[in-house]
Structures are given as structure tokens and as C-alpha cells.
Structure 1
């Protein structure tokens, strides 16, 4: 059975921080919050929308729990679900996915982004055709780095061998917890040095990914 290749989304296939940034600023403005920098928002990204809004609230001295906080999170999600105008694909992503699919590899998504905006942005870029299985941050009771979402995606793709592709410390920890090979995209949202992260191999150009997948699959074969 060919391996399943499961991808993270934000910072891996798409640069979504500009839309996340704009959506956070729009949601927080009515509360008198000063605008955020891109660097602030990118530092908060990776562990799901509730964590993002909690950390942004802490940074602006707003409540981090209770009805007001819940309302702010709901307002952010309502804004962000339709926010794709500022998001871009990383170079070579579509070509790489077409090549992997052409070679019969099973493709899936495992992200901490909520499922509704995940599906919306995949449809916006026409990437939904590649991914019969999509696990979002609210698909299960737990999120990455718990391995359960990644393992759920693998099961839904039919089981067998799997490779996880991501960009961050959260993704690296998820792959380690699931005991699967991890391909680290080095141009995404990681916060620390590559050599301090669990990984099987690294890449900075999606056009090289199909060859890298083939090499990792061959080395993992019994």
C-alpha cells in the first residue's frame, strides 16, 4: 500500500497569517485594543483558534475567560471563516500535490485550524480536490500535538504507512508522539532552530517534495 501523506495547513501549504492578522485586528478593535503586529500574531499561531485568541487577549489586557472572552472568540471565528483574500499558497504547492496524487499517494489534512475555515480556504484555492480526508482543530476533543487527530486522519485514509508534513514545533511533536516520519518545511512558522526539532528530513522547496517522499518511503520500507 502506498503511504498516506498528511499535511498541516497554516505555514505548510498556505501563508495564512495575513488573513489571521487582519481578522484578529477586526475582532479586537471594538474592544479598544491596539492593532497587533504580524510577528505577534505569527507567534500565537499553531495551537488552534481558542489558544490564539486567549494569547492575543492576554497581550492586550482583555479577559481570557468568561462570556466576554467567549463572545470575542465567536466574533473572530465568524470573521475568519470568510477571510481568504490575503492568504497565499507557498510556491510549488499545487504542482507537488498534483505529482503526489498522480503517483497514487493518499493525501490528507491534519490542522489545528477550525474545520469550517479550513474547508473554506481549501475550496478557495481549489485544493479540496486533493484531500478526501480533512481533520480540523475542532474535529476531535483534542488538538495537535496530541497524536489522535493525525492517527484519525491515517485511519480515515485507509491505514498503512504514513508521512506527516508540517512546519512547526507543534507538528514535529505530533509526529514524534505518533511515531511517524516527519518532513519539516523550513519556510513556515517554526519558532526555533531546525536542529532542535524532531524531523526525518527538511525541505524549503515544494518542487522537491515528491522526490523526498519517495526517498523516505523507500528507506522506511521493510
Structure 2
């Protein structure tokens, strides 16, 4: 059986509304005149490289001086820590995870989400028990796209074929750097067209994931990628 590691935000969970709200909570602490709140589309575009980069991109978009960064980051993480009320699992994602576990695969998480918010959201969606290892954005000194977090998750899962499932440019780069086959979920937070991201297979419906994994492990080409 395989070792399968998943990204979280944009891959299994649509967490952008909660992340947007945390960003706006941070912006609201600035002195008047305060910058305009982030739109959901803006916030979604900032996701993928961890909390520090999210705040840096938010600052750049609003012309906020770098001197404000430490306080904004601290406030953002504080608001983000237990922010789960607006987050939703993608349709079929939890069922796909359960089907993969039932098939005997060993599952892990590798995300740039800080470990505090990661633990909160895994608990809120009853996901912690479904994964044998969870690597957050501050578990190691480096984060994705450095391959070390993905390699750490895979190592913790033991031996066997390995796959990485993600949704973004960061995930595609991580998989390539780690030399791990990459399954791209096309409904997440990527900015480029799917064809422009290196991948071994792609899917837009989590219900298709268990069969796609089985086909990849059996050496069956993915029809969508082969076109």
C-alpha cells in the first residue's frame, strides 16, 4: 500500500473565508485611516506560502510599511488560531480519505498552515484521527516548497510507494523538488492553468480520487493528463 500525503488548504478544505477574516481582523488593528478590508478573492490569492508570506502580501496590496509586519503577523495568527467557523471540507473529500484508509493506504498532512491553526481545524473536522502524521508550516525550520516537510511526512509513514496531493504552484514545486508523484486538485487556490503546473494526474472531484490513486499505483495513465 502507498504513503499518501495531502496539502490541506485548497486541497481538502476551503479555508479561504476564515483566512480572509483573520487578515481583516489584523488590518482592523491599524490606526486610522485604516486600509480597505481584503476581498475573499484577494485573500485567496495570498494563500499558499504560510502566514508570514500571507501578511507580507496583504501589506504590499495595501501599501502598509514593513515596520508594521511583526504586529500584523501576531494579530493575524491570533485571529487565525481557532478560525474554523467559515471553513468547509470540499464535497467528497472526507469520504475519499476514508476510502483510501480502508484500502490500506497510510495518510499524512503537509501544509504551510501554522501548527496551532492546523490542530484546531483538524479537530473541528474530525480529521486528526484520519492522518498518521501532520506537518505544519512551523514544524520544521523550512516550509514548502522546500521538500524537507514533505520528505519528513513520508518518512514518518514508513516505506512503500508515495504520492503527494495538492492544489497549487507551491505544492507542484514541492513534489518536483522531492521527486514525488503529484496529484493536482484543480478546484483549489492555484493561479496558473492546470496544464502549466507539473503533475502526474489531476482531478476536480474528490469522489474520483480513490480510483485515480489505484490506477496510478497500477501504472494506468490518467486520461485527463494524457490528453
Asked whether the two chains share a fold, i.e. TM above 0.5, the reply is yes
- Please give the secondary structure, in 1, of the residue aligned with 2:29: helix
Give 1:35's aligned residue.
37
Give 2:192's aligned residue.
192
Give 1:218's aligned residue.
218
Give 1:119's aligned residue.
119
Matching residue within 57, 60, 71 for 1:58? 60
Give 1:143's aligned residue.
143
- Please give the secondary structure, in 2, of the residue aligned with 1:30: coil
* Cα distance in 2 between the residues matched to 1:110 and 1:125: 17
- Please give the secondary structure, in 2, of the residue aligned with 1:209: helix
Return the offset for 1:140: 0.8
Kept in 1, the 8 Å contact 2:18–2:86? The answer is: yes
Kept in 1, the 8 Å contact 2:25–2:75? The answer is: no
Give 2:22's aligned residue.
23
Give TM-score scaled by structure 1 length. 0.95
Give TM-score scaled by structure 2 length. 0.93
* Cα distance in 2 between the residues matched to 1:168 and 1:112: 12
- Please give the secondary structure, in 1, of the residue aligned with 2:4: strand
- Could you list the structure 1 runs, at least 4 aligned residues long, displaced by more than 2 angstroms after superposition: none
Q: Mapping of 1:38-117 within 5 angstroms?
A: 38-64=40-66, 66=67, 68-117=68-117
* Cα distance in 1 between the residues matched to 2:158 and 2:57: 37
Distance 1:215 1:36, change over 3 A: same
Provide Cα deviations, 1:69-106, integer angstroms capped at 9, x if missing partner: 21210111011111100000000011111111111100
* Cα distance in 2 between the residues matched to 1:15 and 1:61: 27
Give 1:8's aligned residue.
7
* Cα distance in 2 between the residues matched to 1:204 and 1:69: 36
* Cα distance in 2 between the residues matched to 1:98 and 1:37: 34
5+ long unaligned stretches in structure 1: none
Provide Cα deviations, 1:166-216, integer angstroms capped at 9, x if missing partner: 000110111111111100000000101111110001101111100101111
* Cα distance in 2 between the residues matched to 1:149 and 1:122: 18
Return the offset for 1:110: 0.2
- Please give the secondary structure, in 2, of the residue aligned with 1:219: coil
Return the offset for 1:160: 2.9
* Cα distance in 1 between the residues matched to 2:2 and 2:165: 12
* Cα distance in 2 between the residues matched to 1:27 and 1:19: 13
